[in-house]
């Protein structure tokens, strides 16, 4: 779809424009990165049964289902995937550390890599994607705090399909850079990165830059936080007088290089979560209107080793939805 629009636009410009080649190329490039009709839905588990949400999406798929899962054990979802494989092109990739034969067939590949294939995404019918922090497991859906984003986009679907094909063909923790890094849409700019190829510099640097440029507030909810560079920027933001709040998974506060004690000692408003299971989110909200989310934890492995995916949304409505979830969890957290 995206390529077809590109070709049609090129033909139109060549027919009706008397402009130079440079101007034509600029016009094509400008149009190439715009997409209308984008809609997003965000679900927060376990308040919402995220397992049922994605099972319903796959049940309604028409032509293709391509998924890369770090973990998978939801029985209803596995059944839906199996049934859909009779009528659509279904391919599933699972990290080797979590594969125990729960789903089998020619449409299943197990990632054999030294690093984690830590993604949690699907591309449906070459247009719809879902991603976030949610692993499609019983714990991920019914006990852990997670987010699941579902959206339609030809450009993002193409990005994710390219990444999926690399994984399917055995290209792990490397590969080509993302094709459409920044897309202008009817709901605002969306940026897309895949780790580690886009995240060592682009994705991580962009997160750091956005925190540095924040004007009012930075809210962070993260399962594992060991990246010192991000920690430094939060300290600087707090010194500038911004409202900085951080929520970390309780069980991860004392892991090696954890930023929890360091940020607490600098006076940051930081807490561990109150969920007796896991607070598994990986998101940052800036000024209540920019959301950084996806699968990577804020760690060296998350940005530099594992196969991961990351999105940045510039949209106030989406931002306020994440703020509501953050505030709810933060109110139940504590300082330890």
Write the pLDDT tens digit of every residue in 82-137: 999 999 999 999 999 999 999 999 999 999 888 999 999 999 999 999 999 999 99
Q: Name the token pair of 263.
A: 């940020």
Express as a percent the part of the chain with pLDDT over 90. Answer: 87
pLDDT at 272 over 50: yes
216 CB neighbour count, 10 Å cutoff = 11
pLDDT at 32: 59
Average pLDDT over residues 239-255: 97
Angle at 254 between CA 111 and CA 265, to 5 degrees: 130
In the chain, what is the greatest distance between 2 CA atoms, to the nearest angstrom? 68
Q: Name the token pair of 186.
A: 């009817």
Q: How far apart are CA 313 and CA 292, in angstroms?
A: 7
pLDDT at 8: 41
Please name each of the domains of the chain with its CATH number.
Answer: 40-168 (3.30.870.10), 182-330 (3.30.870.10)
pLDDT at 4 over 50: no
pLDDT at 289 over 90: yes
pLDDT at 13: 35
> Are 259 and 227 in contact, with CB atoms under 8 Å apart?
yes
Q: Name the token pair of 202.
A: 């682009």
Q: How far apart are CA 220 and CA 291, in angstroms?
A: 10
pLDDT at 31 over 60: no
Q: Name the token pair of 45.
A: 């588990």
Average pLDDT, the chain: 91
The per-residue pLDDT for range 168-211, each reduced to its tens digit, is 999 999 999 999 999 999 999 999 999 999 987 788 899 999 99
pLDDT at 117: 97
pLDDT at 194: 97
pLDDT at 204: 87
> Are 213 and 233 in contact, with CB atoms under 8 Å apart?
no
Long-range pairs, 10-19, Cβ under 8 A, ≥24: none
pLDDT at 45 over 60: yes
pLDDT at 255 over 80: yes
Average pLDDT over residues 64-91: 98
Q: How far apart are CA 74 and CA 96, in angstroms?
A: 17
63 CB neighbour count, 10 Å cutoff = 11
> Are 195 and 68 in contact, with CB atoms under 8 Å apart?
no
> Are 2 and 156 in contact, with CB atoms under 8 Å apart?
no
List of residues 6+ apart from 115 with CB closer than 8 A: 172, 173, 301, 305, 306, 307
The per-residue pLDDT for range 305-332, each reduced to its tens digit, is 999 999 999 999 999 999 999 999 999 9
Average pLDDT over residues 139-161: 98
């Amino acid at each position: 779809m995206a390529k077809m629009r590109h070709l049609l636009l090129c033909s139109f410009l060549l027919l009706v424009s008397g402009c130079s080649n440079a101007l034509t190329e600029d016009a094509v490039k400008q149009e190439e990165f715009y997409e209308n009709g984008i809609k997003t839905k965000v679900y927060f588990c376990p308040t919402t049964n995220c397992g049922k949400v994605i099972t319903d999406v796959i049940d309604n798929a028409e032509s293709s289902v391509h998924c890369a899962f770090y973990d998978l054990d939801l029985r209803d979802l596995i059944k839906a995937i199996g049934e859909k494989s009779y009528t659509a092109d279904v391919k599933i990739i699972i990290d080797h550390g979590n594969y125990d034969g729960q789903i089998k067939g020619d449409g299943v590949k197990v990632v054999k890599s030294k690093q984690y294939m830590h993604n949690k995404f699907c591309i449906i019918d070459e247009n719809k994607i879902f991603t976030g922090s949610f692993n499609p497991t019983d714990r991920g859906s019914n006990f852990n705090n997670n987010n699941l984003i579902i959206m339609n986009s030809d450009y993002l679907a193409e990005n994710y399909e390219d990444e999926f094909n690399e994984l399917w063909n055995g290209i792990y923790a490397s590969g080509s850079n993302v094709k459409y890094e920044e897309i202008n849409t009817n709901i605002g700019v969306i940026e897309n990165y895949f780790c580690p190829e886009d995240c060592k510099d682009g994705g991580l640097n962009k997160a750091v830059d956005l925190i540095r440029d924040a004007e009012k507030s930075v809210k962070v909810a993260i399962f594992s936080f060991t990246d010192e560079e991000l920690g430094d920027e939060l300290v600087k933001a707090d010194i500038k007088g911004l409202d900085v709040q951080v929520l970390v998974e309780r069980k991860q506060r004392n892991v090696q290089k954890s930023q929890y004690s360091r940020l607490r000692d600098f006076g940051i408003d930081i807490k561990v979560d109150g969920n007796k299971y896991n607070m598994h989110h990986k998101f940052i909200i800036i000024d209540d209107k920019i959301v950084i989310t996806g699968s990577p934890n804020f760690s060296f492995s998350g940005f530099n080793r594992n196969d991961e995916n990351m999105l940045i949304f510039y949209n106030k409505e989406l931002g306020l939805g994440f703020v509501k979830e953050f505030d709810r969890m933060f109110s139940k957290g504590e300082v330890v």
